[in-house]
Amino acid sequence: MTTLDGAVALVTGASSGIGAATALGLAQNGASIALIGRRRDRLDGVANDITELGAKVLVLEGDLTDPKGAEDMVQETIDRLGRLDVLVNNAGIMLLGTALHTTTEDWDRMVALNVSAMLHITHAAVPYLIDAAATSPRGVSDIVNVSSTAGRVARPSSSVYTLTKFGVNGFTESLRQELLSERVRVSVVAPGTVDTELVDHLRDSIRDAARRQVDSIEPLRPADIADAIGYIVTRDRRVAVNEMLIRAGEQTW
């Protein structure tokens, strides 16, 4: 295990749930944190919690689906915090519905946030992550992409959400191989059912059905996924945890 003292971590989708818990966990491990999200009030609340831990924090409100916006937020992280050692791509949305009853707008929203936003921020961050691996005491830097069990198991009413998460997995593995020689580790974490706001974005009838499906399951907590991400990025440079699948104990799919 290595400390994150002196490291800087950028976490997307950091205003709540897995992103907020991950930001707090990395701060507890010694990192300075850049938070990216769209809800400034919620980001400020997470930032206050990080400040109370004695860690530096930068709040970046913006839209990662805009390539220029993503580039600007990475640059502001470098300008304000000095470097970038860890990127956690957590921002995402789940909009369920069959092809007959959903809209192409919902599909486009998922592709934009779950895939395009991840590509934009990653592309902007890679040069700085390579530099961090070459200059830090850890001798390594990290990208962690948050996927889902939907990236492994396809189910009805989630075709495009599943498309995006299978895509995250494939992108992660290819990027992992590309950056091996640069000492940038690239990992994917695939959570199962987690107690977050993800289902809150669904239409009423679908949201009720989704909640009934998991009523009998004790869900994972955001901190459980944050713990997994913290484990990955605090391994010694000789260790690369490529993939973690984390299901709720009673989850079958």
Structure tokens at 92: 């995402």
**Residue 89 near residue 125, CB atoms below 8 Å:** no
Q: What does the alpha-carbon distance between residue 92 and residue 77 come to, in Å, rounded to a whole number? A: 21
Structure tokens at 208: 């009720």
Structure tokens at 158: 């989630």
The neighbouring-strand residues paired with 212 are none
Q: What does the alpha-carbon distance between residue 47 and residue 160 come to, in Å, rounded to a whole number? A: 33
Q: What does the alpha-carbon distance between residue 147 and residue 197 come to, in Å, rounded to a whole number? A: 16
Radius of gyration of the chain (CA): 17
The neighbouring-strand residues paired with 220 are 194
**Alpha-carbon 201 to chain mean position:** 18
Sequence-distant (≥ 6) Cβ neighbours of residue 140 within 8 angstroms: 133, 183, 184, 185, 237
Structure tokens at 84: 């970038």
Q: Rounded to 5 degrees, what are φ and ψ at 159?
A: -60, -45
Active site residue 128: no
Active-site entry in 161, 191, 198, 199: 161
Q: What residues are annotated to the active site?
A: 161
